[in-house]
Structure formats: C-alpha cells, structure tokens
Amino acid sequence: MTEGLDRAAAQAAGMDPDRLAALIDGLDARYILSGKLPHMHFTLSRDERPLVAVTRGAGRATGAALADDALYRIASMTKPVTSVAFMMLVEDGRVALDTPVADVIPEFADLPVGPTARRRPRRPMRMVDLLRHTSGLTYGLQRQTAIDARYRDLGLDDFQQKRTSDDFVSDLASIPLEFSPGERWNYSVSTDVLGVVVERLSGCDLGSVFRSRIFDPLGMADTGFVLPDDKADRMTDAWRLDEEGQMSVADLGARSGWRRQGRFLSGGGGLISSVADYQRFARMLLRGGELDGARLLRPETMAQMRANALPRGRDLAAMSNAMFSESDYQGVGFGLGFAVELGSGEYYWGGVFSTYFWIDPVERLIGIFMTQLLPSSAYPVRDELRQGVSQAIATSRRP
C-alpha cells in the first residue's frame, strides 16, 4: 500500500487509485530514493477532498524526516498572492488594469527602451503589464542582454535586499526597459513592482497588507516574509544543484536568511509558507475568491485572472524570447498572476526552489508540490506530476 494515498477517497472522487499509487511510487524512486531531491511534500485534492498527502525524504541535512507542517521558501509562488492583493484594490476602486504604472510610481514616467536608451516606449506601462509580465522589465537571471547584466550587478533579483521599496524602484528606474510595454512577454521583477504599487496605494508595507487582507481571513497562520523564532525548527534546508550535478546546502533552515526582516518585501518571491496554508489559498482560487465565508474577490474577477490576458490571445511561444520561466511556452497563455493552459484552462505557477501548484477548474483538482532545490529547471517533476494526475482521472468532468 502506498503511504499517503487514500485509495477509497480517490476512487469515490473519480480517480484511479492504482495510477495515483504508480505516480507516487515513481516520484519516490526517481527523486527521493535516488537522492535527486532532498524531500518532497505532495498533496492532491478533488472537489476539495484530500486524496493524496505524501511526505518523503529529509527536511534537513541532518537527516531528520520531513514533517507534515514543514515550512518552505515558496519564491515565485508569492506572485499569485501579490496579484490577488492588487485585484482586491481594483475591486475597491483604487486602481484599474489600464492605469499607467507611472500614476502610482512616478519614477517610471520617463523610462527609455533598449540598451542604448535612445528609444521611447510606444505606449505607457500599465498595471496589466505588471500582472502578465509584458512590462518591459526583466530578471538578471535571464542572462541574455546587457540590461539583464545590470539587474545582476544591482542585485535586483535578490529575495532579501538592504534597499527599501523606494530604493528598489529608484534603481529600476535607472535602467532602460528591454522592450516597449505590451510588445513581448518576459518573466521579470514585474510582480515586485506590483507589490510596491500595493504598498503605495494601501499606505502600509506588503506584509501588513497580506496579513490583514489575505492571510488572516483565510487562516494562513504560517505564511509571511519572516520566519519567527518559535517556528524556526520547522524550516527546511534549501539545496542547490551545481553544473557538475552535485548538491550542496544553499540556505540552512536553522539559520535561514528568512529569519531576518528585510527592508524590501519581495512581492515576486519573498514568502515562506506551508502546504496546508497554500492549500487554503488555492482552495480560495478554485472557489472563485471565497473560502469558509471569507470572500476576497468576486467570481468574475477570479474568472478574469485565470483567463489568458496576453495581447490578441497569443501564447508564450509567440511572445517570449526569454530562456527562463516557470512554464513551458507552447499552448500556454498568461493570466493575471499565473500561467494558463489554453486548452484545458488549468492555471499554475511555481518557484525557483522547485515548489509548484496547479488548479484544474473543470476537474476541480488542486495539486501542490513542495521541495527545496535550486534551480527549478533541474528535473521535469512538474510535468510528471500534471501528466500523472491527468492520466489518473477515471471520471472526467470535461464535455
């Protein structure tokens, strides 16, 4: 019997328990027993009923078994949280998707385009560009252009930064855009800028906004930008895979950099969380913006967020030249905070430590996968998860 699989619940939910068992056992053999991943925590639900809750491997280099309530650096899985916070402000009437970013961040009013900084953008950067990564901003980790290199020199990708939010924006404003907003898709610090927008419109720091408007209403007690001392024993170690295929510890849980309050709270990648907490966030998304009586967004807003927002309905393959993202490109669009499968309507995103979640709004599935290995491109575990779960659907809700 595969530990962590509720066979009776899976069968009652219209899933094939044998195929789910094969998926779990295969992941265990390929990644945990082989030593490719330090650990994994995988949960799957259908109609919000738990079907799979698997924990494998060691949470720390000491060999201590991964705990069910372990805490993880969720990196870019922060982006959907920031996007939800922004859309709440849209519903409040404080801002709109077509609002020029410079209306809230005037430092961006005169940003030039291109490495020579001689071109002017064809149109202003709008809030929707930040949500869907068509802003013209970039990440230093892209490693393709001189502009990317400037981001690396300034450390603009870092999770913890000594600069303030205002300093972050000021440094960004000193660098040209890669392209005119709306012309291309480029995974970038756009959501970090969106977090600054949320702060300026709300009049308080991003952590306070998240706590009062999202985490407390949803009961997400273990999610935040800082690891409290009384929860430090639950923080996993994070590992890095080098070019020779060797793993080393990148961040010790006991002495994690997340134990210190940074001056800049990264809306693009700064949160730590637990599987249970992110499950509640994902359930809110699946339910159209509400969970246990707490409504964060209207159903029509959630429907807009999980629809492809790229210009003229294009996919990432048609709009992106970037080498790095948390998504494949062909047949994949981008909504207001996460990638969207154009065929199935599934939406999802992941983080650089190889964390991942996906939601199938038709099949009513939520999958969450946590581990802590840099980079996220090391292994195809995300595709294997999605494909394995899809193949385990015995009773489909699709027409």
What residues form DSSP beta bridges with 72? 273
In a domain, 118, yes or no: yes
Going by C-alpha positions, the residue among 156, 385, 125, 358 that lies closest to residue 269 is 156
CA 352 – CA 338 distance, rounded (Å)? 15
In a domain, 207, yes or no: yes
Mean pLDDT over 199-227 rounds to 98
Q: How far is CA 31 from CA 35, 38, 57, 257, 376, in A?
A: 6, 8, 10, 26, 14
Going by C-alpha positions, the residue among 5, 2, 4 that lies closest to residue 13 is 5
User: Both 102 and 57 in a single domain?
Assistant: no
Instruction: Give the least confident one: 39-43, 144-148, 188-192.
Output: 144-148
pLDDT above 70 covers what percent of the chain? 98
Mean pLDDT of the chain: 96
CATH of the domain at 320: 3.40.710.10
In a domain, 373, yes or no: no
User: Both 166 and 100 in a single domain?
Assistant: yes
User: Both 46 and 181 in a single domain?
Assistant: no
Tokens of 129: 């560009």
Q: Is the pLDDT of residue 327 over 70?
A: no
> What is the per-residue pLDDT across 121-131, written as a single tens digit (0 to 9) for each?
999 999 999 99
User: Both 150 and 12 in a single domain?
Assistant: no
In a domain, 329, yes or no: yes
User: Both 58 and 78 in a single domain?
Assistant: no
What pLDDT, on a 0 to 100 scale, did the predictor assign at position 142?
A: 86
| 117 — pLDDT class (breaks 50, 70, 90) | confident
Mean pLDDT over 11-19 rounds to 98
| 118 — pLDDT class (breaks 50, 70, 90) | confident
User: Both 120 and 84 in a single domain?
Assistant: yes
User: Both 156 and 94 in a single domain?
Assistant: yes
| 172 — pLDDT class (breaks 50, 70, 90) | very high
In a domain, 345, yes or no: no
> What is the per-residue pLDDT across 78-114, written as a single tens digit (0 to 9) for each?
999 999 999 999 999 999 999 999 999 999 999 999 9
Say which amino acid occupies 314: R
Residue 87 belongs to domain spanning? 71-226+261-336
Q: What total of structural domains would you count in the chain?
A: 2
User: Both 201 and 307 in a single domain?
Assistant: yes
User: Both 276 and 395 in a single domain?
Assistant: no
